[in-house]
């Protein structure tokens, strides 16, 4: 960071997603390339952005706020950061260029894989009643110096990690159900018949101990049907005691187990825990008034209907999230990053066919591209940078 100009007014760093499917726990990156990249995006931002920041949160300084770990100032409580609209920003978005960020996994680099449009990179989230704080990478790295931040969950949470001169580490831990499951192997996890042990978390959680900030997510892998298969007893036995449970009930047990671990293992005066709500998909264009048989393929604009809510975002799962984490007197308050609605509008932001494919598309698929479009994952730069801006806001300006 020494090489960075000291005068930059705003900065942001490249938020990127690890490509390494074989990484189980952590890879610490200590790389010249990354510092170089960070410098690039800082310089670029410095050139691009106006000096005075117009999008400041209304901040109320309160003595009490300092009780929230990492909080700098308290934001106006009445403002819901997750209710708002997308505004097109030709100049100020994206924060970085795809090619400046060599660590974005090839499943997410849409431009490199031939995506013809770039508008999807230029949308900024504007909450209705306030503004998001400006993302300042230098500030964030200073605050996280010597700290350990971890993203725990599935491929949608496979987050950025950083290790710089600042000795901040950001790590990703693969645990698609949070609790123990037969899909936990970071390489071979595409099992047909998913089985979870809702009460068992320590196999994973022992690796999370000592984290100062944890961002959890889990959703996609639960969506296999109405019921989940639950195992009592260990996976290494004969696995005779497998029962079925309504998915919502199993999901609630897993979140409750996670909460209990947090309460027993983390200190609310020193650490923060976030939970990212369901990431939506766009598999059926009839849902937003498009052609029958279509999906996200070919979509270049967000959905404008403020009421839009896609079928992939289970409302009953959302209710479970709400009830588990909204307990007023929880021993450990968890901050929900409610990204579901704002992401629901973004039918344009998926990787679609512009990504590294697991297997080569067949001639039939190539003739009809929507048949192999990925309408679950998101291009970077893109929507998930906004999730990180929201995390930044909730972390420092709760």
> At which residue do the structure tokens 């645990």 appear?
175
Q: What distance in Å separates the CA atoms of residue 103 and residue 124, rounded to the nearest whole number? A: 23
Q: Is 374 a catalytic residue?
A: yes
Residues facing residue 213 across a β-bridge: 149, 272
Number of residues that bind ligand NAG (CB under 6 A): 17
> At which residue do the structure tokens 């230029």 appear?
122
314 near ligand NAG (CB under 6 A): no
Write the burial class of residue 206 (CB in 10 Å: 0-12 exposed, 13-18 middle, 19+ buried): exposed
Q: Is 131 a catalytic residue?
A: no
At 361, list the tokens.
Answer: 């598309």
Write each residue from 69 to 98 as x if it is in contact with ligand NAG (CB under 6 A), else as -, in one continuous string: -------------x----------------
Of 4 and 24, which has the nearer Cβ to ligand NAG?
4
33 near ligand NAG (CB under 6 A): no
38 near ligand NAG (CB under 6 A): no
109 near ligand NAG (CB under 6 A): no
Contact at 8 Å (CB) between 354 and 110?
A: yes
CB of 193 to ligand NAG, least distance (A): 18
Strands 148-153 and 169-174: parallel
At 45, list the tokens.
Answer: 């931002």
Residue 136 phi/psi, 5-degree rounding, is -120, 105
Q: What distance in Å separates the CA atoms of residue 167 and residue 144, rounded to the nearest whole number? A: 8
Of 86-94, 174-182, 318-326, 386-394, which segment contacts ligand NAG by CB under 6 A? 318-326
Of 39-47, 249-257, 296-304, 314-322, which segment contacts ligand NAG by CB under 6 A? 314-322
Q: According to CB under 6 A, which one of 336, 349, 375, 393 is a site residue for ligand NAG?
A: 336
At 260, list the tokens.
Answer: 């209990």
- Considering only residues 234 to 273 of the shown chain, the ones binding ligand NAG according to CB under 6 A are 241
338 near ligand NAG (CB under 6 A): yes
Q: What distance in Å separates the CA atoms of residue 262 and residue 268, rounded to the nearest whole number? A: 9
Contact at 8 Å (CB) between 220 and 176?
A: yes
10 near ligand NAG (CB under 6 A): yes
Given 155, 285, 314, 352, which residue is catalytic? Answer: 155
Reduced to 3 DSSP states, what percent helix, strand and coil does the chain have, rounded to the nearest 5?
Answer: 25, 15, 60
- Considering only residues 113 to 152 of the shown chain, the ones binding ligand NAG according to CB under 6 A are 136, 138-139, 142
Q: Is 12 a catalytic residue?
A: no
341 near ligand NAG (CB under 6 A): yes
Write out the residues near ligand NAG by the rule CB under 6 A: 9-11, 82, 136, 138-139, 142, 232, 241, 318, 321-322, 336, 338, 340-341
Catalytic residues: 155, 374, 377
């Amino acid at each position: 960071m020494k090489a960075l100009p000291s005068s930059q007014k705003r900065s942001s760093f490249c938020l990127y997603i690890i490509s390494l499917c074989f990484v189980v726990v952590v890879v610490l990156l200590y790389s010249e390339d990354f510092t170089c990249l960070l410098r690039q995006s800082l310089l670029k931002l410095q050139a691009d952005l106006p000096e005075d920041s117009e999008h400041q949160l209304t901040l109320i300084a309160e003595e009490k706020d300092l009780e929230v770990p990492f909080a700098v100032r308290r934001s106006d409580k009445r403002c819901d950061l997750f209710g708002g609209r997308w505004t097109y920003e030709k100049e100020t978005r994206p924060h970085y260029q795809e090619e400046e960020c060599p660590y974005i996994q090839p499943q997410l680099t849409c431009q490199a894989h031939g995506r013809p449009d770039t508008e999807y990179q230029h949308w900024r989230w504007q909450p209705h009643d306030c503004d998001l704080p400006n993302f300042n990478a230098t500030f964030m790295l200073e605050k996280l110096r010597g700290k350990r931040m971890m993203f725990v969950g599935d491929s949608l949470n496979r987050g950025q990690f950083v290790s710089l001169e600042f000795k901040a580490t950001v790590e990703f831990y693969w645990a698609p159900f949070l609790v123990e499951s037969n899909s936990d192997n970071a390489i071979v996890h595409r099992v047909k018949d998913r089985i979870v042990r809702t009460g068992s978390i320590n196999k994973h959680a022992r690796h999370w101990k000592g984290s100062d900030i944890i961002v959890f997510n889990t959703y996609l892998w639960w969506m296999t049907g109405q019921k989940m298969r639950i195992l009592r007893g260990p996976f290494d036995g004969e696995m005779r005691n497998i029962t079925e449970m309504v998915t919502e009930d199993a999901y609630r047990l897993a979140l409750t187990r996670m909460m209990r671990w947090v309460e027993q293992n983390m200190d609310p005066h020193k650490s923060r825990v976030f939970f990212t709500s369901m990431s939506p998909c766009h598999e059926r264009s009839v849902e937003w008034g498009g052609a029958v048989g279509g999906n996200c393929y070919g979509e270049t604009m967000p959905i404008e209907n403020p009421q839009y809510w896609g079928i992939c975002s289970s409302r009953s799962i959302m209710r479970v999230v709400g009830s588990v984490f909204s307990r007023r007197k929880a021993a450990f308050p968890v901050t929900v990053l409610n990204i579901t609605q704002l992401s629901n509008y973004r039918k344009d932001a998926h990787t679609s066919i512009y990504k590294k494919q697991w297997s080569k598309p067949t001639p039939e698929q190539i003739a009809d591209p929507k048949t192999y479009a990925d309408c679950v994952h998101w291009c970077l730069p893109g929507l998930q940078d906004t999730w990180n801006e929201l995390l930044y806001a909730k972390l420092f300006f709760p």
